[in-house]
Amino acid sequence: MMYDDIANNPENPLPGDIRSVVDQTNVYKSVPHDYTGDKVNAKTFLAVLQGDDTAEKKIIRSEENDNIFIYMSGVGSEGKFDFPEESLTATDLIKTINIMNAGKKYSKMVIYMDSDFSASMFTSLSGLINVYAVASCDSSNPNIPYPYDSERSTCLSDEFSAAWLKFVSAADDRTATFKKQYDYIKKKDKSKPCEFGDKKFENLLISEFLNK
């Protein structure tokens, strides 16, 4: 899901280009975007996550032996992750996760949320339902933009996502755990990242969830 308002924005001096913070390559063409524009909303996101056929395109048809990885990047406020036209509330997100757990829709779930005040989205996440979440900021902090791109006169990302991507791109799949990544991000991101849920996930290899 991506709103898709960057690559061909009139203010983008390089049409069709979204620059990687890792190696400066154009990543736009290689990023799937099944849901764009007004289809990027909280209702559709939760439908996709639960495998609900009311969503118009791809959904996650997961079962009890599947691992799920979610990365959400945007803006937010206290107890909310903002989609372009509406917000996803912490209440609705945690309710959906609990429903999925009860319905045996996953084995393990990892969520990374990169948004302002994102820790407020996970304060009621149980540590007993095989879910691990990392928030880019504590409940009092916004994200910190980084790195600055002089050609576009704006920042390409923020400290959290830049650190996350750089760690993953260089990580050894045989040894890189979520704890190693979290410790790396904590050193690079001054917006005070936080972790929630099942802390035992720290010792899992990232490669159980991601293929580079």
Confidence of residue 133 (pLDDT cuts 50, 70, 90): very high
| Opening angle at CA 106, ends 91 and 181, nearest 5 | 80
Confidence of residue 212 (pLDDT cuts 50, 70, 90): low
Through-space distance between the first and last CA atoms of the chain, rounded to whole angstroms:
19
Is the pLDDT reported for residue 115 higher than 70?
A: yes
3 state DSSP class of 75: strand
Of residues 31 and 179, more confidently modeled: 179
Q: What is the mean pLDDT of residues 173-201?
A: 96
CA distance linking residue 57 with residue 55, whole number of Å: 6
Decide if 19 contacts 100 (C-beta within 8 A).
no
3-state secondary structure of 12: coil
* 53-110: pLDDT as tens digits: 999 899 999 999 999 999 999 999 999 999 998 999 999 999 999 999 999 999 999 9
Mean pLDDT of the 176-200 span: 97
Q: If you average pLDDT over residues 177-204, what whole number do you get?
A: 97
4 has a pLDDT exceeding 70: yes
Domain locations in the chain as residue ranges: 37-208
Q: What is the pLDDT of residues 5-47, one digit of tens each?
A: 999 999 999 999 999 999 999 999 888 889 999 999 999 999 9
Q: State the chain's mean pLDDT as an integer.
A: 95
Return the percentage of the chain with pLDDT > 90, whole number.
Answer: 93
Report whether CATH 3.40.50.1460 matches the domain 37-208: yes
Residues in Cβ contact with 119 at an 8 Å cutoff, skipping those fewer than 6 apart: 135, 137, 138, 139, 194, 196
Q: Is the pLDDT of residue 135 over 90?
A: yes
Do 201 and 129 touch, CB atoms closer than 8 A? Answer: no
Residue that has been written with the tokens 């939760």 in this structure: 46
> What's the whole-number mean pLDDT along residues 103-121?
97
